[in-house]
Amino acid sequence: MATTVSTATSGPSLRRILIPLALAQFICSFAGSNMNVMINDISEDLDTTVQGVQTAITVFLLVMAALMIPCGKLTDRWGRKRCFVIGLGLYGIGALMSAVSPNLGVLILGNSIFEGIGTSLLIPPVYILTTVLVTDITSRAKAFGVITGMGGIGAAAGPLIGGLITTAISWRAAFIFQAIVVCVILVLSRKIVDPLPVSRTHPFDTLGAVLSAVGLVLVVMGVLAADDNLALMAVLLAAGAILIFLFFLHIRSSERAGGEPLLPTAVFRNRIANLGLVTQNVQWLLLMGTAFVVSAYLQVVRGYNAIQTGVIFTAATGGILASSLAAQRLATRHSQRTLIIAGFVTTIAGVGLLLALVAGSPSPWAFSPGLLLIGLGVGVMLTPSVNVVQSVFPEDLQGEISGLSRCISNLGSSLGTAVAGTILVIGLDKGSYAAAMIVLAVIGLVGLGATLLVPSSARRQAG
């Protein structure tokens, strides 16, 4: 990384950087969850089904996961600030297209494709610019905490804000809200300066980008196909796995030949980072999977409207907000590993409460204790998981690992909606809610197991 970058560590200069970058992370995470409370409204307005809305949500998250790494590499050729601005522009266009969409196809084009591509372009610069502009380690850790915390809050607040707007105006107005926020970010980001040089001749690994993107798409689409075509599911999953394997062979071969692959193999050789990436994937899988399952169950089975569903999710929003505000203080007292373990235990307990209390009570407030614990648990471990991964790599690999980290997190979000959502929609009135929540709890145990394998010496966040 360039050594001439000026340090922004405190006061107005740090706030000028953080506010637009954190808002960008917020609105992208918000977009991934706010549609959950619009399932009935969108289905009726566009004459589609729960599965159709699930597909739109999943494809949005999947496009982000598939393109995050290639778009991260494009920042070297186009510049971090330029990619950020282009991404915001595409996102805004997609939001406006979604607001006026006459059918599900246009909604998928606007929300899932345009907003997904826009997010893939703007999110890598958020983390790269934070890394290069905030050079003080302590301040950078705080900055990452703010940005990841805003991501969690955006995902948790999406149902509430989306529910309020949908009930008061229309589900279409929720996309207008997103476009307005994008305009605000564009204005606030005018003074952000990209300090790194742009390399117009910087090589781009097109084959690696295609292999990785198509492989991830096939895997998630295979999961979505499970509800009506098991043979197609098997074919898609197998094809996706083969392409991902070929991607790894390609980057290894390219690196040995002296080329510059999409990702250096070094990012996959660190055991601590690999375990940290697993925890990131599972965290977002749990958060987004739970959000879709509970939202669909409330609207389709219990007949709640968007605002009623959104209000119930205030428990999760409050939990993430509370734990995010306490993140810095907790990080100075406990190791990253301890915080992630505590987060998984709390989140899994929340899933257990969603199973136990909801089954025994018709009250909508029976969802609150479980959602509160899930919010607290996810909020506690979001930042430590990012820090565990980022802190084990040198400065010259921060861009690559940031892209991979965001890819893995978004893949978890798309898998959460795909896996839990597919189980749910198979039989909403036949106990599939319980089956979906049990699957999420088991996946949570996998994340906890990965965390237990992280060395106990994983250092504390600088305070």
Q: What is the pLDDT of residues 247-277, one digit of tens each?
A: 999 999 999 988 888 888 888 888 898 999 9
The 8-class DSSP code of residue 170 comes to: -
What's the N-to-C CA distance of the chain in angstroms? 23
Torsion angles phi and psi, residue 213, rounded to 5: -65, -50
- For the whole prediction, is pTM greater than 0.85? no
Share the mean pLDDT of the chain.
85
Structure confidence at residue 385 as a pLDDT band (50, 70, 90):
confident
pLDDT tens by residue, 31-88 = 878 888 888 899 999 999 888 888 898 888 888 888 888 888 888 788 888 899 999 9
In angstroms, rounded to a whole number, what is the distance separating the alpha carbons of residues 420 and 440?
A: 7
Alpha-carbon dihedral sign for residues 205, 109, 158, 420: negative
Q: Where are the domains of the chain?
A: 15-194+262-452, 206-261
- Which residue did the predictor score with more confidence, 197 or 339? 339
Structure confidence at residue 13 as a pLDDT band (50, 70, 90):
confident
> What per-residue confidence (pLDDT) applies to 180?
96
pLDDT of residue 415 exceeding 70, the answer is yes
DSSP for 343-380 reads HHHHHHHHHHHHHHHHHH---GGGGHHHHHHHHHHHHH
pLDDT of residue 372 exceeding 90, the answer is yes
Structure confidence at residue 201 as a pLDDT band (50, 70, 90):
low
> What per-residue confidence (pLDDT) applies to 298?
86
| Across 165-191, average pLDDT | 93
Taking the CA of residue 46 as centre, how many other CA atoms within 13 Å lie in the half-sphere pointing to its CB?
Answer: 27
> What per-residue confidence (pLDDT) applies to 5?
41
Q: What is the largest CA-CA distance in the chain?
A: 63
> What per-residue confidence (pLDDT) applies to 462?
39
How is residue 272 written in tokens? Answer: 């601590």
Cβ atoms of residues 75 and 83 within 8 Å: yes
> What per-residue confidence (pLDDT) applies to 137?
66
Contacts of residue 269, defined as CB under 8 A and 6 or more positions apart, other chains included, come to none
In angstroms, rounded to a whole number, what is the distance separating the alpha carbons of residues 121 and 195?
A: 18
Is the domain 15-194+262-452 a CATH 1.20.1250.20 member? yes
Least confident of 126-135, 155-164, 257-266, 349-358: 126-135
> What per-residue confidence (pLDDT) applies to 248?
93
Angle, CA of 230, 235 and 238, to the nearest 5°: 120
How is residue 125 written in tokens? Answer: 């610069």
